Protein backbone atom coordinates (compact mmCIF):
# COMPACT_ATOMS: atom_id res chain seq x y z
CA UNK A 1 0.00 0.00 0.00
CA UNK A 2 1.25 3.46 -0.87
CA UNK A 3 1.23 6.55 1.31
CA UNK A 4 -1.07 9.33 0.08
CA UNK A 5 0.74 12.43 -1.18
CA UNK A 6 0.54 15.56 0.91
CA UNK A 7 -1.02 18.55 -0.83
CA UNK A 8 1.43 21.26 -1.85
CA UNK A 9 0.67 24.55 -0.13
CA UNK A 10 2.55 27.44 -1.74
CA UNK A 11 0.25 29.96 0.00
CA UNK A 12 1.76 29.27 3.42
CA UNK A 13 3.98 32.15 4.44
CA UNK A 14 7.60 31.04 4.17
CA UNK A 15 9.64 31.44 7.33
CA UNK A 16 6.65 31.04 9.60
CA UNK A 17 6.42 28.17 12.04
CA UNK A 18 3.52 26.63 10.14
CA UNK A 19 5.44 26.46 6.85
CA UNK A 20 8.47 24.94 8.59
CA UNK A 21 6.35 22.34 10.39
CA UNK A 22 4.52 21.47 7.15
CA UNK A 23 7.85 21.13 5.29
CA UNK A 24 9.27 18.83 7.97
CA UNK A 25 6.12 16.71 7.80
CA UNK A 26 6.56 16.42 4.01
CA UNK A 27 10.15 15.26 4.54
CA UNK A 28 8.98 12.76 7.15
CA UNK A 29 6.50 11.25 4.70
CA UNK A 30 9.19 11.01 2.01
CA UNK A 31 11.46 9.26 4.53
CA UNK A 32 8.70 6.84 5.55
CA UNK A 33 8.15 5.82 1.93
CA UNK A 34 11.62 4.27 2.00
CA UNK A 35 10.70 1.96 4.89
CA UNK A 36 8.48 -1.10 5.00
CA UNK A 37 5.50 -0.08 7.11
CA UNK A 38 2.58 -2.21 8.31
CA UNK A 39 -0.76 -1.67 6.56
CA UNK A 40 -2.41 -0.43 9.78
CA UNK A 41 0.04 2.47 10.10
CA UNK A 42 -0.25 3.34 6.40
CA UNK A 43 -4.05 3.28 6.58
CA UNK A 44 -4.10 5.56 9.62
CA UNK A 45 -1.54 7.90 8.05
CA UNK A 46 -3.48 8.06 4.77
CA UNK A 47 -6.69 9.01 6.57
CA UNK A 48 -4.85 11.75 8.49
CA UNK A 49 -3.20 13.04 5.30
CA UNK A 50 -6.61 13.11 3.58
CA UNK A 51 -7.89 15.21 6.48
CA UNK A 52 -4.88 17.56 6.21
CA UNK A 53 -5.35 17.88 2.45
CA UNK A 54 -8.99 18.90 2.98
CA UNK A 55 -8.07 21.85 5.22
CA UNK A 56 -7.93 25.39 3.90
CA UNK A 57 -4.70 27.39 3.96
CA UNK A 58 -5.33 28.94 7.38
CA UNK A 59 -2.09 28.78 9.31
CA UNK A 60 -3.49 28.00 12.74
CA UNK A 61 -5.61 25.01 11.75
CA UNK A 62 -2.92 23.44 9.57
CA UNK A 63 -0.14 23.96 12.09
CA UNK A 64 -2.16 22.47 14.92
CA UNK A 65 -3.27 19.44 12.93
CA UNK A 66 0.16 18.76 11.42
CA UNK A 67 1.67 18.81 14.89
CA UNK A 68 -0.99 16.41 16.19
CA UNK A 69 -0.62 13.99 13.25
CA UNK A 70 3.18 14.07 13.39
CA UNK A 71 3.22 13.39 17.14
CA UNK A 72 0.70 10.55 16.79
CA UNK A 73 2.66 9.02 13.87
CA UNK A 74 6.03 9.20 15.64
CA UNK A 75 4.61 7.61 18.79
CA UNK A 76 3.12 4.71 16.82
CA UNK A 77 6.36 4.24 14.85
CA UNK A 78 8.38 4.18 18.06
CA UNK A 79 5.99 1.83 19.83
CA UNK A 80 5.36 -0.67 17.04
CA UNK A 81 8.47 -0.57 14.82
CA UNK A 82 11.07 1.02 17.13
CA UNK A 83 11.75 3.65 14.42
CA UNK A 84 12.84 7.02 15.78
CA UNK A 85 14.13 10.26 14.22
CA UNK A 86 17.72 11.45 14.56
CA UNK A 87 18.60 12.63 18.09
CA UNK A 88 15.29 11.41 19.51
CA UNK A 89 16.79 9.85 22.62
CA UNK A 90 19.26 12.69 23.13
CA UNK A 91 16.42 15.19 23.31
CA UNK A 92 14.37 12.95 25.58
CA UNK A 93 17.22 12.21 27.98
CA UNK A 94 18.30 15.87 28.02
CA UNK A 95 14.99 16.85 29.61
CA UNK A 96 15.09 13.93 32.03
CA UNK A 97 18.66 14.77 33.01
CA UNK A 98 17.76 18.38 33.67
CA UNK A 99 14.87 17.42 35.92
CA UNK A 100 17.00 14.93 37.85
CA UNK A 101 19.81 17.47 38.04
CA UNK A 102 17.44 20.03 39.53
CA UNK A 103 16.56 17.50 42.23
CA UNK A 104 20.25 16.94 42.88
CA UNK A 105 20.81 20.72 43.05
CA UNK A 106 18.00 21.09 45.57
CA UNK A 107 19.51 18.40 47.78
CA UNK A 108 22.95 19.99 47.45
CA UNK A 109 21.65 23.50 48.24
CA UNK A 110 19.72 22.21 51.24
CA UNK A 111 22.71 20.31 52.57
CA UNK A 112 24.93 23.40 52.58
CA UNK A 113 21.97 25.65 53.53
CA UNK A 114 22.61 28.09 50.69
CA UNK A 115 19.79 28.14 48.14
CA UNK A 116 21.87 30.09 45.66
CA UNK A 117 23.27 26.72 44.55
CA UNK A 118 19.90 25.19 43.68
CA UNK A 119 20.68 25.37 39.95
CA UNK A 120 24.08 23.68 40.19
CA UNK A 121 22.70 20.24 39.39
CA UNK A 122 20.94 21.26 36.19
CA UNK A 123 24.00 21.47 33.92
CA UNK A 124 25.39 18.29 35.45
CA UNK A 125 22.13 16.44 34.82
CA UNK A 126 21.92 17.93 31.33
CA UNK A 127 25.40 16.66 30.47
CA UNK A 128 24.61 13.19 31.80
CA UNK A 129 21.31 13.15 29.90
CA UNK A 130 22.97 14.18 26.64
CA UNK A 131 25.63 11.49 27.08
CA UNK A 132 23.10 8.72 27.78
CA UNK A 133 20.78 9.84 24.97
CA UNK A 134 23.61 10.10 22.44
CA UNK A 135 24.73 6.58 23.35
CA UNK A 136 21.20 5.26 22.84
CA UNK A 137 20.88 7.12 19.50
CA UNK A 138 24.15 5.57 18.36
CA UNK A 139 22.85 2.08 19.21
CA UNK A 140 19.62 2.76 17.30
CA UNK A 141 21.54 4.00 14.26
CA UNK A 142 23.79 0.93 14.24
CA UNK A 143 20.75 -1.36 14.37
CA UNK A 144 19.15 0.48 11.42
CA UNK A 145 16.07 1.69 13.28
CA UNK A 146 16.71 5.41 12.81
CA UNK A 147 14.86 7.61 10.36
CA UNK A 148 17.00 9.88 8.21
CA UNK A 149 15.43 13.10 9.48
CA UNK A 150 15.76 15.27 12.58
CA UNK A 151 12.44 16.78 13.55
CA UNK A 152 12.96 18.84 16.67
Give tens-digit pLDDT for 4-17: 888 888 777 766 78
Give tens-digit pLDDT for 48-67: 999 988 888 766 778 888 99
Q: Would you say 108 and 117 are in contact if contact means Cβ atoms under 8 Å apart? A: yes
- Whole-angstrom Cα distance, residue 111 to residue 128? 22
Over range 80-100, report the average pLDDT. Answer: 93
pLDDT at residue 6, rounded to an integer = 87
pLDDT at residue 131, rounded to an integer = 96
CB atoms under 10 Å from CB of 110, counted, come to 12
DSSP one-letter string for 49-108: HHHHHHS-S-HHHHHHHHHHHHHHHHHHIIIII--B-TTHHHHHHHHHHHHHHHHHHHHH
Amino acid sequence: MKITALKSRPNLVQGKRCAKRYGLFEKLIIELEQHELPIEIITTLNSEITHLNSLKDTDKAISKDVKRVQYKLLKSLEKELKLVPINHYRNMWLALGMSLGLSFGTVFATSIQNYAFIGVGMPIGMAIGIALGTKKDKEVKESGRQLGIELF
